[in-house]
Structure 1
């Protein structure tokens, strides 16, 4: 076993975490994939498989280490068990990098193989956006949000920025090894184009609107304790009634830890106040509906509900495995306490609901994990003028998870040319402008209300119009051409060998 290259693969993968928030060092979005390509170049499939897996283990082991916090602290798993489950999760995700590396070595070797490496990486990022409900985390493109290259996001989303990273990284390795400048041309051309692109794709659709986002900072261990329900509601109502000028008040994901019918009487005075002040309240809370296929069965949803001046309901479309539903529930439920987390029996909506609105302005909604899905948010924002996302990142403590989550919300604002209102239980609560910049935020782990203005926006970015399909087609075409070329070369070599034998 080649210890040094394998250790380098592990460390190269782990180094990628430095490209993302809170570190935000975009150089590592070049260095990490460049090292992987250097380690895979001209390697046999078996060796590439191992190095790809080790790279993925480092990549996810460092990048999503925050999973440990929710398993250990809030799932009450021991240190050893929580570490083992986190390692198993990261090792399973690393199989995607292993498969990516093996496919590259098996079918896309030879001249210009680096283009196959780029296309495969991009396609596997895209694959992670939907495979087994998806895990769209740690896309290379997020690293560029605070650079001039971010102008590419409204054109092709985070996907195009990932492509930029890969072209620059792979091209740099090839240019150094070949001592030629040609491999640098695709990446540098795309980078230069970013500097020439317009930076206004959307326009105000109305005057700025006053919003107030409540950050209650309720400890996770007391949130679902029925004994604390009354005090939680008192706090939320008290903070809300201090915002008479707000046109919209936002409470975070599952801010109300009870079904609506249980607290309707308690909220009645607040609803009267909302109507008097012409204020809309949007809150996260669990809701229940009858199963359309079996009316005797009740389905529970992680929802957003609008009350007051406007009314409406939104159910979450992308559920977090083990956090909001338990795969193989009959086998796993009750096995360990982690599989019995509060509200881990949510269901997907069975029908489409009308979008939430603020006055005559439509709001695209995303609950927690959903903001990480570029295509999901793009589609919901096509006709919307604002984007609202609520979350409860208390599950991840003071880890890097909440910072990464906020960075993705910023990218969604930039991709869609819309203001994003982000409400959380304990941070990071923020208002994000259409260029992905934070206009206001609250400190983490503090109770407070974020007051500010957001502007409904109209107009569509190129990415909103077409999504990831152009890049998907380009990368599939690139792989197809590489496959034909490699096949022709092997056929020629086979024919030449047969001629020599004759």
Structure 2
């Protein structure tokens, strides 16, 4: 009996974290489950409430004296860490595939690496929960609204820290579960982190709903209804800016063959050359590393023929291709080809993938254990100019760069030159046919919502899609198929509130707001 009481809160936190992982993209259909994300936080909030009320029986059943009993601060930190570890490892477990299946890392080491990453990142949430309890411990009678606001502020600070520090890895942030649902309307105003803050407030309020005052219940209804009411009164912050017919290419070259000179390379060169030659739409987009070799490594005449294909006429192309040489260094790039240009348009990836495109200091020993083509790329310019074609300004981003909305926002600093269309070129074949594909789609949908811009996604293994400015997928090519997806995209002008403030100040307003709220809570604690 005593043992079950000790482990029950840990099991609840473990299950709640797993539910949070599932909420971003359900494994059975790839769709987000916004209500499940709120439920997962409500379960964590329930356990923190029990902890705050000193109702966690596992501690008192083990230590007989109050002086020897572990503090509720440590208990809360433990629950936050268990929740975070379960959530994060359950979200990006597919990293195991890239390290073991394609990298040749021994299975136990690959599993340990994923668990280690999840455990390390979960420390942000452990700290948030511990501070939450440390502030509340001397305030047993504080109202539920105060608790919920404090939790949301600390939880948001943890999300911001995970997404910004040490190159940042915000994959699976709680707000991504809300590309659909009641809270989606907050995205053009607050972005994914602000939306996640609202969700954290709601999640902490739900366990206390039966016992909280009328004011908290009214506030909950107001926050849930506000986005829908606002959309009726002000449907969009942006306006239509013309249409463009586009062909998106999905080569579906198996990842274990993609860079092999005898199989994947000639296969890719042949197929993409044929598709570019035969395309009829004004714009053709190929995925990341559609051309898997440096231009100087290509068969004689191949690169010149590609440029000549789009040197005249009324068509243009955006293609993923590595560029550079041993003297100037290498970049993971997008090349834009169109009639009348003196030099091809070039976009170089800015936010590089740790261990994939650069090796962090002190970790060469780890990468040495893997048989995988790791790069050491140069970073591109932040806020690079758009590719202009037929009245549209297209802003390329490569692979998981669309995970960093605050970096994409630098292109919106000047409304006159802000992109009208976002274009993501990806290759996430490293992670197999897993939920990683669905999760990345939710990330792209969130960027479309935040900026009210359509997003074109050309990927190697899928899904290659058209996303409209409301974040809805309008056309889709099934994953793990080879083909071309034709459609029409409507560009958008104007800036959302999120685009305006984040392009000027980055994420600092959210940091500042979280800091002010925590500071006020500390002041209340001191006075009491």
Asked if 2 retains the 8 angstrom alpha-carbon contact of 1:392 and 1:426, the reply is yes
Q: Which runs of 5+ in 2 are unaligned?
A: 55-71
SS in 1 for 2:38: helix
Secondary structure class of the residue paired with 1:256: coil
Tell me how far apart the structure 2 counterparts of residues 330 and 94 of structure 1 sit (CA, whole Å). Answer: 20
Tell me: CA distance 1:426–1:26, structure 2 relative to 1, closer, same or farther (3 Å).
same
* Alpha-carbon offset, residue 287 of structure 1: 1.3
Counterpart secondary structure, 1:27? helix
Structure 1 residue 126 and structure 2 residue 160: aligned? yes
C-alpha distance in 2, partners of 1:18/1:454?
Answer: 31
Taking the aligned partners of 2:196 and 2:522, their CA distance within structure 1 comes to: 23
Residue 8 of structure 2: aligned partner: 4
2:62 matched to 1:34? Answer: no
Given that residues 365 and 380 in structure 1 are in contact (C-alpha distance below 8 angstroms), is that contact kept between their aligned partners in structure 2? no
Secondary structure of the structure 2 residue equivalent to 1:222 = coil
| Cα gap change, 1:202 to 1:471, in 2 (>3 Å) | same
Distance 1:280 1:399, change over 3 A: same
Structure 2 residue corresponding to 1:361, chosen from 361, 371, 392: 392
Q: Which runs of 5+ in 1 are unaligned?
A: 291-296, 490-502
Distance in 1 separating the partners of 2:117 and 2:204: 28
CA contact (8 A) 1:416 1:461 kept: yes
- Give, in whole Å, the separation in 1 of the partners of 2:89 and 2:391: 45
State the alpha-carbon separation in 1 of the partners of residues 385 and 216 from structure 2. Answer: 49
- TM-fit CA distance, 1:23: 4.3
Alignment of 1:114-153 (within 5 A): 114-153=148-187
Q: Which residue matches 1:18? A: 22
Show the counterpart of 2:194.
160
1:307 to 337, 347, 371: 337
- The CA distance in 2 between the partners of 1:300 and 1:48, in whole Å, is 46
Residues 316 and 430 from structure 1, CA distance in 2 versus in 1: closer, same or farther, beyond 3 angstroms?
A: same
Q: Is the counterpart of residue 487 in structure 1 residue 526 in structure 2?
A: yes
Contact 1:326/1:333 (<8 A) preserved: no
2:282 and 2:457 mapped to 1: Cα distance? 16
Match in the other structure for 2:120: 92
SS in 2 for 1:147: coil
Where does 1:16-95 land on structure 2 (aligned, <5 Å)?
16-21=20-25, 22-41=30-49, 42=52, 44-95=72-123
Aligned partner of 1:464 in structure 2 is: 499
The equivalences for 1:93-492 within 5 A come to 93-109=121-137, 110=139, 111=142, 112-176=146-210, 178-197=211-230, 198-206=234-242, 208-228=243-263, 229-244=265-280, 246-263=281-298, 265-288=301-324, 297-309=327-339, 311-328=344-361, 331-332=364-365, 335-337=368-370, 340-349=371-380, 354-382=385-413, 383-467=418-502, 468-489=507-528
Note the C-alpha offset of 1:484. 0.4
Q: In terms of mean alpha carbon deviation, does 269-278 or 415-424 score higher?
A: 269-278
CA-to-partner distance for each residue in 1:83-102, whole Å, 9 max, x for gaps? 11111111111111111112
Contact 2:76 2:133 survives alignment (8 Å): yes
Which range moves more in the overlay, 459-468 or 105-114?
105-114
Distance verdict in 2 for CA 1:70–1:331, change over 3 Å: closer
Give the Å deviation of 1:377. 1.8
CA gap of 1:289–1:480, structure 2 versus 1, over 3 A, is farther
| CA deviation after TM superposition for structure 1 residue 175, in Å | 2.6
Please report the TM-score for the alignment, with normalisation by the length of structure 1. 0.90
1: CA distance between counterparts of 2:109 and 2:116?
Answer: 10
Using the TM superposition, give the Cα deviation of residue 308 of structure 1 relative to its aligned residue in structure 2, in angstroms.
Answer: 3.2
Question: How many residues get paired?
Answer: 478
Residue pair 1:116, 1:478 contacting (<8 A) in 2 also:
yes
The answer on whether the counterparts of 1:381 and 1:416 sit within 8 Å (CA) in structure 2 is: no
Q: Deviations over 1:306-346 (max 9, x none)?
A: 12335311111111111211112674266301xx5214212
Q: Counterparts of 1:302 and 1:332 in 2: how far apart (Å)? A: 24
- Mapped to 2, the partners of 1:145 and 1:97 lie a distance apart of 23
Q: Once structures 1 and 2 are overlaid, which stretch shifts more, 15-24 or 418-427?
A: 15-24
The root-mean-square deviation of aligned C-alpha atoms, in Å, is: 2.1
How has the CA–CA distance of structure 1 residues 466 and 289 changed in structure 2, closer, same or farther, with 3 Å as cutoff? Answer: farther
Comparing 425-434 and 301-310, the one that deviates more:
301-310
Offset at residue 187 of structure 1 (A): 3.0
Shift of 1:350: 6.5
Moved more, 346-355 or 136-145: 346-355
Deviations 1:197-225 (A, max 9, x none): 1222211223x111111100011111111
CA distance in 2: counterparts of 1:438 and 1:158, whole angstroms:
18
Tell me if the contact between 2:41 and 2:200 (Cα under 8 Å) persists in the aligned partners.
yes
CA spacing shift, 1:395–1:26, aligned 2, 3 Å: same
**Closer, same or farther: CA 330–478 of 1 in aligned 2, 3 Å:** closer
- What CA distance in whole angstroms lies between the structure 1 residues aligned with 2:91 and 2:174? 12
Matched residue SS, 1:133: coil
